[in-house]
């Protein structure tokens, strides 16, 4: 199964890299518009988001919108030794530092931890998703571990090329509740 996941990761990354800038920008505007109209977004006081990079959906405008709306934004800080992570409150992009692989994470001395029960909505990153909310992430397993102890709402933002009928799943994989695509919303839990 890991070989299949690796191949799917590689092919999805290639498809994402092949999206034109204008198509990517247009899709992301539609995705953000849908996200900001969701009841769960409106209701959420604290939102967990990753700080995007590369071909990921740009989360900077989402973080800024959350701040404008008076929401608390929390972003992940990963611990590479045990593949765990916690979320830390971010009040400014100046509280970020670049760590491995160009990833931006909160500076521990400038931010405070917010536990899973303090997060209303968690925007879960990934590469490929299916209609049941299962996903293929980037291979570290950080989010699957975190989601085991998180009971709030989850959603993912994705380009159409990141959606497929079925992804291979394993016992520890945790599905997300809502998928937000440029042209539709998919609620995986009724």
Q: What pLDDT was estimated at residue 141?
A: 82
Q: What pLDDT was estimated at residue 1?
A: 52
pTM of the shown model: 0.93
Rounded Cα distance, 22 and 24, in Å = 5
- CA nearest neighbour of 124 among 107, 144, 108, 149: 144
Q: What pLDDT was estimated at residue 49?
A: 97
Measured in degrees and rounded to the nearest 5, phi and psi for residue 122 equal -115, 120
Rounded Cα distance, 162 and 168, in Å = 14
In 10 A of CB 48, how many CB atoms? 24
pLDDT average, residue stretch 156-166: 95
Strand 185-187, strand 178-180: pairing:
antiparallel
Range in 1-5, 47-51, 119-123 with the lowest mean pLDDT: 1-5
pLDDT band at 166 (very low <50, low <70, confident <90, very high): very high
Q: What pLDDT was estimated at residue 183?
A: 94
Rounded Cα distance, 91 and 25, in Å = 25
Q: What pLDDT was estimated at residue 190?
A: 56
């Amino acid at each position: 199964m890991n070989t299949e996941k690796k191949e799917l990761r590689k092919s999805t990354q290639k498809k994402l890299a092949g999206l034109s800038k204008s198509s990517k920008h247009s899709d992301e505007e539609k995705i953000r518009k849908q996200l900001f109209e969701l009841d769960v977004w409106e209701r959420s006081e604290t939102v967990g988001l990753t700080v995007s990079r590369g071909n990921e959906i740009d989360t900077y405008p989402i973080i800024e919108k959350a701040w404008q709306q008076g929401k608390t934004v929390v972003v992940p800080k990963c611990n590479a030794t045990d593949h765990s992570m916690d979320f830390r409150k971010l009040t400014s992009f100046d509280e970020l530092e670049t760590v491995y692989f160009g990833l931006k994470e909160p500076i521990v001395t400038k931010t405070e931890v917010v536990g899973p029960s303090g997060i209303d909505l968690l925007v879960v990153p990934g590469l490929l998703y299916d209609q049941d909310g299962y996903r293929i992430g980037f291979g570290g397993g950080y989010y699957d571990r975190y989601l085991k102890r998180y009971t709030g709402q989850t959603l993912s933002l994705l380009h159409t090329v990141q959606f497929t009928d079925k992804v291979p799943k394993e016992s520890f994989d945790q599905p997300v509740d809502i998928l937000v695509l440029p042209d539709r919303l998919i609620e995986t839990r009724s």
